[in-house]
Amino acid sequence: MTYSSSLAMNRTRYSGRNRNSVSFALTKRKIGPISNTIILVVLACLLGLIYLTQVTKTNTYGYQIANLQTKQQQLENQKQNLEVAQAQLQSLNRVQNSSVAKSMVAVTPSATLTQ
Q: Is 35 in the site for another protein (CB under 8 A)?
A: no
- CA separation for the pair 84, 80 (Å, rounded): 6
The single residue among 42, 43, 46, 87 that binds another protein, judged by CB under 8 A, is: 87
Neighbours of 74 (CB within 10 A): 10
CB 21 within 8 Å of CB 15: yes
Of 54, 33, 35, 53, which is closest to residue 43 (Cα–Cα)?
35
The single residue among 90, 100, 102, 104 that binds another protein, judged by CB under 8 A, is: 90
Residues that bind another protein (CB under 8 A): 33-34, 37, 54-55, 58-59, 61-63, 65-66, 74, 77-78, 80-81, 83-84, 87-88, 90-93, 96, 108-109, 111-112, 114-115
